[in-house]
Chains A and B, each alone.
Chain A
Amino acid sequence: MVKIILRDREFEVRAGMTLRDALRKCGILPEAVIATRQGEMITEDEILKDGEVVKLIAVISGG
């Protein structure tokens, strides 16, 4: 499984799918986040592997 973290929320998705598909599964708009893995930014075509943790940074602010 792959763990996806956004603020205080956590999601789990199957390994082997792309980040784009994983975000869709979690109901997260790619435009609203930046994805990092081990501190490095990754693009949406990246394939997620078993045991990985993807940290999402919310990019939209009010005002």
Chain B
Amino acid sequence: MRCRKCGGKAVINMPQHRLALCKEHYLAWLPEQTERFIKKYRMFTRAEKVLVAVSGGKDSLSLWDILHRLGYQADGLYIALGIDGGVNYSAESQRLTEKFAAERGLTLHVVDVRAETGKTIPEWAEATWRGREKPCAVCGLVKRHEMNRIARDLGYDVLATGHNLDDEAAVLFGNTLAWAGEYLLRQGPVLEERGGLARKVKPLCRFYEREMAAYALLRGIEYIYEECPFSAGATSLYYKELLNRLENDRPGTKLAFYLNFLEARRAGLFAERSEVQQALHPCPGCGQPTSAPGLCSYCRMIEKGRDSQV
């Protein structure tokens, strides 16, 4: 297969775009496309301060690399979750993230969940939510809370995450199966600032997971290849596999599923609920906006887990 730009040997073929590219042109194409999506969805400008949530994985490190190459003001935030799983998962991903930042002279903020809250993620899961189950719900809650807190405390305009199209399509698939209207309304490349929370953006949301892995590999980015030990058997992985089977038989299906959803929403398929129903108030515990009465779900989790012994 030949590169469409130069006729050289292609390293990747993207049937959904009817495009094959060589290494050099692929490494130029992907940031160009990212720039196009940042502008198209009005994510941020070069005058704004961007905080990139980095996990040590291929997507978030590549995102940071791309924003840096494009000349954006992008600092990193690493949240140390304290997950070991027999593979030293958190320690190794932190090491790779710190190495990445140091080699490029980038600013990285590190938040240690145990130092902040007294427990690691698996310990919080054990202490609060039906102990033996997966800590993913607790993990999501804590990460969201810490990202919002750091963005607000350090004055970032926007929070960027490395979600790719496969991530987004899997979430969309799950929300559609459940007809979770509230979530469908909020899912997208940009979540506008609400109640003092920084705007959230997903600049990679139109790239296939395979494209992001190819970028990381071709750029020589060292990322954590091991899976989070808790992700085995996750529903999101199952949905990704189902969508990839569709993609295999009908190239472009994943992309169309996501883009047609965005278009349908823009055209008004999903109605906003009334102002009263979506009213936010500051949580009496942490001050972050919440729609729940009283404490936010993060503070309720902390309250519930604080007294129990691990």
Residues of A participating in the B interface, judged by any CB pair closer than 8 Å:
29-34, 36, 40-46, 57, 59-63
Contact = CB atoms under 8 A, between A and B. Distances in A.
Contacts of A57: 213, 217, 225
A61 B57 CA distance: 9
B245 interface: yes
Contacts of A40: 11
A43 to B, nearest CB: 4
Interface of B: 1, 10-13, 20, 23, 57-59, 136, 166-167, 208-210, 212-214, 217-218, 225, 227-228, 230-232, 234, 236-237, 240-241, 244-245, 247-248
A43 B1 contact: yes
A31 B12 contact: no
A61 B227 contact: yes
Given A61-B209, A61-B227, A62-B236, A34 B214 contact: yes
Given A61-B59, A61-B228, A63-B236, 18 more contacts: A29-B244, A29-B245, A31-B208, A31-B210, A31-B248, A34-B214, A41-B214, A43-B1, A43-B10, A43-B20, A57-B213, A60-B166, A61-B57, A61-B209, A61-B227, A61-B231, A62-B230, A63-B228
Contact of A31 (B228, B232, B244): B244
A62 B237 contact: yes
A32 B210 CA distance: 7
Contacts of B236: 62-63
B36 to A, nearest CB: 23
A29 B231 contact: no
16 contacts: A31-B210, A32-B210, A32-B244, A33-B210, A34-B213, A41-B12, A43-B11, A43-B20, A59-B58, A59-B209, A61-B59, A61-B209, A62-B227, A62-B228, A63-B228, A63-B234
